[in-house]
Structure 1
Amino acid sequence: MDYTSPEETALKVKRWPKATIAAGYRHTVGLTSDGTVTAVGDNKYGQCDVSGWRDMVAVAAGNAHTGNAHTIGLTSVGTVSAVGWNKYDQCDVSGWRDIVAIAAGWRRTVGIKSDGTVVAVGRNNEGQCNVSEWRDIVAVAAGDWHTIGLKSDGTVVAVGNNRYGQCNVSGWHDIVEVAAGYLHTVGLTSDGTVTAVGWNKRDQCDVSGWRGIVAISAGSNHTIGLRSDGTVAAVGWNEHGQCDVGGWRDIVAVAAGCAHTLGLTSDGTVVAVGDNKNSQCDVSGWRGIQLPGK
């Protein structure tokens, strides 16, 4: 078996793009510049119990339309921490090593290893954890019942439930980022345009007119796009105002939860709109959230 030293793993982890804000069903997670993590919102299953985490470089939040949730953190040495709902073993990641990127879906956790292979734990009734054969993966996204993988050549693979065509990505090319919602999948191309497949009852896939996009995120039934000028676009379900981002400026990262949306500004503060019944949007006091790529 090949041995990868902690130092080698740390270098590999550092090179991968990292999510420093995450939106779950009813909770919000932020990674600070000192490697600690903060969280607000629903804590019924302990998904906000992250105060003891240290040396983190990325965070992810399970975004379940049914309310059960968990939180994942990636350390600088490629190990993974998890708290929250664990009925389907989605938090059983303590043995993972050499991980460079993470994603959290409903009842599921996914990790990319430094060699481009993928591991997954959790509910697999629809085959959403059948990723062991994947190779050359550079990014993953976890929806409720499907999992998406972005390959180094810009093509995309998918496993899991495909009832609404959310896994119909085999024809995609030149993709640089992927996102997965409840029943839809979104891809960002290298030219700043966006494509989407899947359930579109809430118009969450109506992204064909977007231009100048540099990052994307998918909520349960809405889609968010960050423009190169720091403004934000949104389509889809807006019952709680989760798409009311037209006034945002100077945004450098976005995250979409079930019914709320987050934006990270260039000064390390966070803005939020949408459902706040569990205080998941109470982030106005956050400071020093790590900027992407830092």
Structure 2
Amino acid sequence: MSAWTDVVAVAAGAVHAARNTGRSHTVGLRSDGSVIATGWNADGQCAVSGWRGVVAVAAGWRTTVGVLADGRAVATGRAAEGQCDVSAWRDVRSVSCGDWHSVAVRVDGTVIAVGNNRRGQCEVDEWRGIISTAAGYTHTLGLRGDGHVVAAGDAPSGACGVERWRDVIQVDAGSHHSVAVTTAGRALAQGDNEFGQCEVDAWSGLVAVAAGSRHTLGLLADGTVVSTGEDSDGQCRVKSWTGIRIPI
């Protein structure tokens, strides 16, 4: 990735942990609106070299979605579940991708979703006042402008049990868990906790969170990072990280 320059945003392919997973891809958005990608490309998910005028990107397991400056969306990669059926989307402000579904927030605060819906993760048509979304393996989160969070999809894991969350400023979705940051800089987590990925109650001074398949990261205001959850591949070894900042 040494050739990557002028990158203003990145996205990592979402993938749940299973025997047939593990391969993924990475996408970068350049300041000139072009896009670059590297990694697993079996379904053409890295075929983004011709994209122009892109203002946001998201990556699923085998899919890449981009938002154009005019509010339309483009997609490439595996389309078998319908996750690339975004050509009709208009007035899109942001996108997120789960393993098998793609979600977009429109400028009017409504939400649209396409792709695998076996757990109801695409049932977002009635959501209103949404400012951002996050997509997990089989669930979707929506952050409302009033700091409340709504969810659709996976019920068995408990990842959708967010109805009591308040004063939230950012959300993210792991494969089977949901995480959030509040205005007070605290973290919230809900869902599968087999690897301790939801053990965030002691965290404070947060400005952002990120959820992997089975682990969670928190960015502190001082630029350091905390982590919890599965560490079998060293994904939680972040104690030495300093000077990390959210892109403006």
Taking structure 2 as the reference length, the TM-score comes to 0.95
| Other-structure match for 2:81 | 126
Say if 1:266 and 1:291, in contact at 8 Å, map to a contact too: no
Q: Could you tell me how far 1:159 is from its partner in structure 2?
A: 0.7
| Other-structure match for 2:143 | 188
- Letter of the structure 1 residue corresponding to residue 146 of structure 2: D
| Other-structure match for 2:69 | 114
| Other-structure match for 2:12 | 61
| Other-structure match for 1:243 | 198
Gaps of 5+ in 2: none
Q: Say which of 58, 75, 78 aligns to 2:30.
A: 75
Identical-pair percentage:
54
The 3-state SS of whatever aligns with 1:187 is strand
Where in structure 2 are the equivalents of 1:279-290 lying within 5 Å? 279-290=234-245
**Structure possessing the higher relative contact order (Cα contacts under 8 Å, 6 or more residues apart):** 1
Q: Say what the alpha-carbon RMSD is for the aligned residues.
A: 1.1
The 3-state SS of whatever aligns with 1:283 is coil
Q: Distance in 1 between matches of 2:40 and 2:245?
A: 26
Q: Distance in 1 between matches of 2:194 and 2:164?
A: 23
| Other-structure match for 2:152 | 197
Where in structure 2 are the equivalents of 1:224-263 lying within 5 Å? 224-263=179-218
Where in structure 2 are the equivalents of 1:9-28 lying within 5 Å? none
Q: Could you tell me how far 1:62 is from its partner in structure 2?
A: 0.8
Say if 1:166 and 1:198, in contact at 8 Å, map to a contact too: yes
The 3-state SS of whatever aligns with 1:57 is strand
| Other-structure match for 1:6 | none
Taking structure 1 as the reference length, the TM-score comes to 0.81
- Letter of the structure 1 residue corresponding to residue 115 of structure 2: G
How many residue pairs get aligned? The number is 244
Q: Could you tell me how far 1:81 is from its partner in structure 2?
A: 1.6
**207-216 or 93-102: bigger deviation:** 93-102
Where in structure 2 are the equivalents of 1:22-41 lying within 5 Å? none
Q: Distance in 2 between matches of 1:231 and 1:195?
A: 19
Q: Distance in 1 between matches of 2:102 and 2:36?
A: 20
**59-68 or 215-224: bigger deviation:** 59-68
The 3-state SS of whatever aligns with 2:140 is strand
Gaps of 5+ in 1: 1-49
- Letter of the structure 2 residue corresponding to residue 110 of structure 1: V
- Letter of the structure 1 residue corresponding to residue 98 of structure 2: G
Q: Distance in 2 between matches of 1:248 and 1:226?
A: 10
Q: Could you tell me how far 1:51 is from its partner in structure 2?
A: 4.2
Q: Distance in 1 between matches of 2:138 and 2:7?
A: 30
| Other-structure match for 1:275 | 230
